């Protein structure tokens, strides 16, 4: 083992390395391959000058990383967040490379971000920032090299601005350059809810494998993924007893009316204060006596400090990296099944792939057809990973990495590494 293979800690990139190292031991991966798979192929840091509404010039810092592009161009979102960092972008690009491999699409990993609080920007400032980011990265991205998508605090409108800027710079039409676009600009039906939809298919399959009937659910994070997974589960008759957002959470053991919670959130800006539900913290939500937990917020939410207090029998990770390696060990010993992020939230990137395919064909599918393809792909990957889990008697995250590592190693070998 190399020193890199022994890395651990709360740093998100170190966490990713530690997770992969467990899988590498299972298949006795050569250290040289491990080093090849854990180094970014390219990592760009850019300064982005933007004229603000008050006339002053402000400099933002942005990043874009490419990881393990043995199987195809890089693919991954762009996030606008005040905690964006080089390590976070590296970690997310790293995870994306394994996520694409797990869900069997011809991509490597990509990720980008800008250090900014988008809530503090006007619409005009946000547009100028988005266009300037593309200006800086124009030679680093493209439909055959790196295909961006939305992530935390970015959306279809921001993708539309970025597409327009890219096409102006290249003087042509390139809808396959970016995914998560509005339908009017070549977006795919179902893309907005695809991450949650894929997570629901994982949840549904895991319930059958574990024999869990009439489970109670808690959802940490009530953004795009969290809101939609709560609604999908509620619409299918499951009892969601707690949800939370950045301002706090709510709990009602009798079950929450999720459509009403969504309407309240859209009006008030938070779920806190909804009806007669008890106010709780995000930390308290993770420790509720529920059967299933959906972490849909940010990284490092379940750690060695609170993992022993988590009572859920099943955790379905719709966030990227919500569970640290130390917490994984504790949960596995307790018998808690964790459907890892690289499988559970891969619905978004899979439908992004379908959007890219549709853009290239100039032919578009219905939402029902898109979700039918997604369900088959998710279920096939889940089945294969569950078989690896049983064969090696390992946790599901390690099984997912074993499954992906074998594919990645073969691709690298075929390329001559």
Catalytic residue IDs: 111
Tokens (6 digits) for 129: 């920032």
- Specify which residues 323 forms β-bridges with: 302
Please report the DSSP string for 252-277 in residue order: -TT---HHHHHHHHHHHSSSTT-TTP
Q: What angle do CA 24, 79, 37 make, to 5 degrees?
A: 20
Parallel, antiparallel, or unpaired for β 292-295 and 216-220? Answer: parallel
Going from the C-alpha of 206 to that of each of 48, 189, 211, 378, 406, the distances in angstroms are 44, 26, 8, 12, 23
> Rounded CA gap, 72 and 182, in Å?
25
Which is it for the CA torsion 47, 158, 95, 405, positive or negative? negative
- Tell me the backbone φ, ψ of residue 183, rounded to 5 degrees: -55, -35
> Rounded CA gap, 67 and 107, in Å?
10
Neighbours of 409 (CB within 10 A): 20
Q: In what order do the strands lie in the sheet with 216-220?
A: 278-280, 248-251, 239-245, 216-220, 292-295, 314-316, 337-339
Parallel, antiparallel, or unpaired for β 248-251 and 239-245? Answer: antiparallel
In 35-90, the DSSP E strands lie at 42-51, 57-67, 74-81
Asked if 282 contacts 306 with a C-beta cutoff of 8 angstroms, the reply is no
């Amino acid at each position: 083992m190399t020193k890199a293979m022994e890395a651990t800690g709360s740093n998100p990139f170190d966490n990713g390395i530690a997770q992969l190292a467990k899988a590498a031991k299972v298949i006795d991966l050569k250290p040289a391959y491990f080093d090849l798979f854990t180094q970014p192929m390219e990592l760009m840091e850019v300064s982005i000058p933007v004229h603000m509404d008050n006339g002053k010039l402000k400099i933002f810092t942005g990043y874009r990383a490419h990881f393990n592009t043995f199987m195809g161009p890089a693919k991954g979102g762009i996030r606008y967040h005040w905690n964006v960092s080089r390590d976070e972008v590296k970690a997310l690009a790293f995870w994306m490379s394994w996520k694409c491999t797990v869900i069997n699409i011809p991509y490597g990993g990509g990720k980008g971000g800008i250090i900014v609080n988008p809530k503090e920007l006007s619409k005009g400032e946000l547009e100028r920032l988005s266009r300037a980011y593309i200006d800086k990265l124009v030679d680093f991205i493209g439909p055959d090299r790196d295909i961006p998508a939305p992530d935390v605090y970015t959306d279809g409108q921001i993708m539309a601005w970025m597409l327009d800027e890219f096409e102006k710079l290249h003087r042509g039409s390139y809808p396959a350059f970016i995914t998560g676009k509005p339908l009017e600009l070549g977006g795919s039906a179902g893309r907005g809810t695809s991450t949650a939809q894929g997570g629901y298919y994982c949840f549904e399959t895991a319930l059958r494998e574990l024999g869990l009937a009439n489970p109670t659910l808690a959802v940490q994070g009530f953004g795009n993924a969290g809101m939609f997974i709560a609604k999908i589960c509620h619409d299918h008759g499951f009892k969601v007893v707690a949800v939370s957002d950045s301002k706090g959470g709510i709990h009602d053991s009798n079950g929450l009316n999720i459509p009403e919670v969504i309407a309240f959130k859209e009006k008030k800006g938070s779920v806190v204060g909804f009806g007669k539900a008890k106010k709780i913290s995000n930390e308290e939500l993770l420790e509720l006596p529920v059967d299933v937990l959906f972490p849909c917020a940010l990284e490092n939410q379940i750690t060695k400090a609170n993992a022993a207090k988590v009572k859920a029998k099943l955790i379905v990770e719709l966030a990227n990296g919500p569970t640290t390696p130390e917490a994984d060990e504790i949960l596995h010993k307790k018998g808690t099944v964790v459907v890892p992020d690289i499988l559970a939230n891969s619905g978004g990137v899979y439908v992004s792939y379908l959007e890219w395919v549709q853009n290239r064909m100039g032919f578009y599918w219905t939402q029902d057809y898109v979700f039918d393809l997604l369900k088959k792909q998710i279920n096939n990957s889940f089945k294969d990973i569950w078989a690896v889990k049983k064969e090696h008697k390992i946790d599901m995250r390690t099984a997912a990495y074993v499954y992906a590592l074998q594919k990645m190693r073969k691709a690298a070998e075929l390329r001559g590494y």
